[in-house]
Chains A and B, each alone.
Chain A
Amino acid sequence: MTATMTPYQSAAPSSGAGFVQLLHAEWTKLRTVRGWLFALALGAVLIVALGAGSAAGSHRGCGGGPGGQLSGKACAAANAPPTGPDGTPVTDNFYFVHQQLDGDGSITVRVTSLSEQAPGAGQRPQGPADGSVPWGTVTVPWAKAGLIVKAGTSQGSPYASIMTTASHGVRFQYDFTHDVAGSDTTVSTTSPQWLRLTRSGSKLTGSESADGAHWTVVGTATLTGLPASIQAGLFVASPDYDVVDDHIVGTATYGGPSRAIATFDNVGLQGGWTPSTWAGSQFGGDGSGPLGPPGSRFTQSGGVFSVTGTGDIAPAVGDPDNNTIGGSLIGSFAGLIALVVLGALFITAEYRRGLIRTTLAAAPDRGRVLAAKSVVVGVVTFVVSLAGCLIAVWLVGDLRRNNGFYVVPASASTTARVIVGTAALLAVSSVFALAVGTIVRRSAATIATVIALVVLPYILGASAIGPLVWLLRLTPAAAFAVQQGYHRYSQVDGVYTAAGGYFPLPPWAGFGVLCLWTATALGLALYLLRKRDA
């Protein structure tokens, strides 16, 4: 005789049933621990406070304005660089030997020499550019000499140019951001370089030749907004040289103005262009200061032109102050530390108090527990950081402008990318901390590991030391690329460092690196959580 016993079954819904209930349970844990709410609030406050504090502590005045001292927003406007035809901030200073030319035609020239100089030959200590230190020969790889057609006399107006450079051969460049390489020759008296620039309507063609008889087209450009009569002629420019001192934390750069001296001959106009007198003038101001009496910059005798120029015609790249929208989120590092502590404690506290056994008894599917915890931590930290980042970007930008700083303009999509990306970076980092916490089970070691992986590589990689820059490609710190404020232009030797707003990876690729680390850590955490006793 057998008695059938029906085991007791609770009328309550089975615990593993609802992921929603699990989420609710984890959310209840989070919101009822005062210390964690404090960490969340601290995260948001730090994101704003650190950025606002550093912006409030920096002032820039402008003395040179026509109305005397400028301050605040007027100064910020005066500090703004010109913008190119597509809105990119640009540098547009060079020495211009020009005349007005109407309609279509072409201009030809032979460049016979190009050399560069800097005060004290660029050696330390860096000398002033006022002539009190003798100028010595240096190499400025992007020193330029050649022909240019310029739409107008205002900085940032459309142009096309064909040039020889000190170390990068012949180049055809137009409208600041476009750069086409020609032959890789270096100009000297024994190997002069012929250049030609031809206008046909809005189409400009740059050609080069070694002998003046056989011509090769380097590139063509269609310029919009080119009037019928333009300024065309010879130009010489030499960008500031930068020497980067490698420091492990932060970089120190020193540098200064340089000048290039070029010799031209066989200057000729063809087609519909008729020659008149050549006039020499500095286009767009001196840039880095006076480089000697203006009269000495251009001499012409017997068809030989000697021209001295400084400045550059190129997109403006990173400045050490990083006045980009990404730069206003410096507080995200502080917020990150607070939120990482929260993410780690969300699991390690359960281990320390033994609560994890209750949690796992109530919800035996450990994968779901980890998922619920990740979702709650991720969503909550994302919302909090998003709020912090929105306020920080608005407040810091305003403070900077009020204190006389030019803030690099950002498009709506860039602004959204930086703000949402930074909030996502902080949220994913917290989830990463949760995963590492599940693996390590100790709060101090977890927090130290995560901060060592996310923040330390940024600090080390912000220097220009080669191997350390790799840290910004391989470690989770790569995700700070979502704050990318500058594009790297191969035709500009700038100081491309993370501290200046430049990251080696594209924004979302960098963020992907962090996600990859987090996914791996979560996978390992899940494996260990299932395998080990709680």
Chain B
Amino acid sequence: MKTVLHAEWTKLRTLSGTFWLLFAAVALTVGLSAAVAGGVSCSSSACNQDAVKTSLTGVYLGQLVIAILAVTVVGNEYGTGMIRTTFAAMPRRHLVLAAKAALVCAGSLVAGVLGVLGSVLAGRFILPGKGFTAAHGYSSLSLLDGPTLRAAGGTVLYLALIGLLAVGIAAVTRDSAAAIGLVFALLFLFPLVTAAVSDEHLQRHLQQIAPMSAGLAIQATTNLQSMVISPWTGLGVMALWAVGALLFGGLSVHLRDA
């Protein structure tokens, strides 16, 4: 396993795109978070806004970059035919996939930690100037605060799970383009359909199973009792999606010709 990891690591680090993508993930996460924090305002104690969640908005953009990275790590090898060399050198194919997944996971965690830290810091400095003050019932964002730490840490885990989900899907489709389309459809179509459905029960269920809606429940720090799914259960749903996609991917890599 160690040699496989090393081989995959060599492939990944020698591509110039990898570090640019990780950098873009961090920059876009922090950028969007800061922009949203700079645009919101709270004028009374009844503004009902979740300061922590608002300051972590950037993950909506960051996850897309993580998905690109994850999809290309698998899809590009199929696109160029390199996958046949890889499998000839390492016939235990599931180990190759596992190594790729582990590296994507590690990369997403690093980018996630930096992006989330930057976002929380941006929120900590920007939000008080926008009316998120003690007078309106908001304390300064701090990772020493339990729910804030859970939201921030959970967001990092969410990004890693997005990476794993995309690796799994790319292993099934074996094509970067189809995989990225599928990942985005999975992330974005659920909230859109949820908004279009009028039946409240169906709406609830859709929100509970949707990878993005459920997974990002981890970011909520206010009105927890009115949420359709609790934070950790939601992240669990996201994890199920990722594990399911990886299993499918592993099976598909194992059973089909490369």
Contact of B177 among A54, A60, A323, A344 (CB under 8 A): A344
Complex contacts, A59 vs chain B, CB 8 Å: 199
**At the interface, is chain A mostly helix, strand, loop or mixed?**
helix
Contact of B193 among A323, A330, A338, A456 (CB under 8 A): A330
Minimum CB–CB distance for A498 against chain B, Å: 9
Within 8 A of A (CB), among B49-73: 49, 53-54, 57, 60-61, 64-65, 67-68, 71-72
> Closest A-chain residue to B212, C-beta based?
A249
> Closest B-chain residue to A332, C-beta based?
B192
Contact A443 B193 (CB under 8 A): no
Within 8 A of B (CB), among A216-258: 243, 245-246, 248-250, 252
Q: Does A460 contact B (CB under 8 A)?
A: yes
Within 8 A of B (CB), among A433-471: 442-445, 447-448, 451-452, 455-456, 458-460, 462, 465-468, 470
Q: Does A108 contact B (CB under 8 A)?
A: no
Q: Does A57 contact B (CB under 8 A)?
A: yes
Complex contacts, B48 vs chain A, CB 8 Å: 243, 245-246
With most chain A CB atoms within 10 A of its CB, the pick from B71, B80, B177 is B177
Complex contacts, B226 vs chain A, CB 8 Å: 252
Complex contacts, B82 vs chain A, CB 8 Å: none
Minimum CB–CB distance for A26 against chain B, Å: 18
- With A246-B48, A321-B198, A448-B64 as contacts: A50 and B189 at CB distance below 8 Å: yes
Interface size class of B (residues with CB under 8 A): 35 or more
Q: Mark B83-120, 1 if CB is under 8 A from A, else 0.
A: 00000000000000000000000000000000000000
Contact of A352 among B39, B54, B65, B79 (CB under 8 A): B79
Q: Does B224 contact A (CB under 8 A)?
A: no
A246 to B40 CA separation, bound complex (whole angstroms): 10
Q: Does A334 contact B (CB under 8 A)?
A: yes
Contact B188 A456 (CB under 8 A): yes
Minimum CB–CB distance for A497 against chain B, Å: 9
Complex contacts, A164 vs chain B, CB 8 Å: none
Contact B188 A341 (CB under 8 A): no
Minimum CB–CB distance for B65 against chain A, Å: 7
Q: Does B38 contact A (CB under 8 A)?
A: yes
Complex contacts, B198 vs chain A, CB 8 Å: 58, 60, 321, 323, 405
Complex A-B: 17 CB contacts under 8 Å: A50-B196, A59-B199, A246-B40, A246-B49, A248-B57, A330-B192, A334-B189, A344-B177, A444-B68, A444-B72, A447-B180, A448-B65, A452-B61, A459-B60, A466-B41, A467-B35, A468-B39
